[in-house]
């Protein structure tokens, strides 16, 4: 398994990521070309890859106003879940951010409050629930806002 950065000319990887996101988050929740390409160019898209196949992906955005990195999306493809890949990947993401963005003080993300498995993973790796975001993505679509302080 390799930890890689996705570049804007890597069409095969981009298509894989869009399919993975759709499998995990559904048609309305995953990224598409319109979202993914700008994040690749102006943020970072990092992944775990093996034999030219994306196993896990994360999209990172740097907050304009403060020293915070927002994990826009984080997922492990369905058939690779519950194998420790998510834990290894999140650890590598944290290391990468700390090494490459010296001014960053916080890493934040949002998660469905019903996604207990993900919440436990984030907590195990040092993220803490800061607050609940009511109706974050529309009426009845609540999220937990979690933070890792560097």
Tell me the pLDDT of the chain (150 aa) as tens digits. Answer: 999 999 999 999 999 999 999 999 988 788 989 999 999 999 999 999 999 999 999 999 998 888 999 999 999 999 999 999 999 999 999 999 999 988 899 999 999 999 999 999 999 999 999 999 999 989 999 999 999 999
> According to DSSP H, which parts of the chain are helical?
11-25, 33-42, 85-100, 116-124
In terms of Cα–Cα distance, which of 55, 58, 11 is closest to 37?
A: 11
What's the confidence (pLDDT) of residue 110?
Answer: 97
Return the residue matching tokens 């896990």: 56
Question: Which DSSP category does 80 fall into?
Answer: G
What's the confidence (pLDDT) of residue 74?
Answer: 97
Q: How far apart are CA 14 and CA 6, in angstroms?
A: 8
């Amino acid at each position: 398994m390799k930890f890689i950065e996705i570049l804007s000319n890597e069409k095969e990887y981009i298509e894989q990521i869009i399919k993975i996101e759709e499998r995990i988050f559904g048609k309305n929740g995953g990224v598409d070309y319109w979202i993914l390409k700008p994040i690749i160019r102006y943020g970072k898209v990092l992944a775990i890859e093996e034999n030219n196949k994306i196993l896990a992906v994360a999209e990172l955005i740097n907050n304009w106003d403060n020293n915070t990195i927002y994990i826009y999306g984080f997922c492990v493809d369905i058939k690779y879940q519950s194998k420790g890949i998510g834990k290894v990947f999140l650890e590598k993401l944290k290391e990468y951010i700390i090494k490459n963005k010296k001014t960053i003080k916080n890493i934040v993300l949002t998660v469905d409050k019903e996604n207990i498995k993900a919440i436990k993973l984030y907590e195990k790796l040092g993220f803490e629930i800061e607050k609940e975001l009511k109706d974050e993505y529309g009426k009845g679509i609540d999220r937990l806002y979690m933070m890792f302080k560097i």
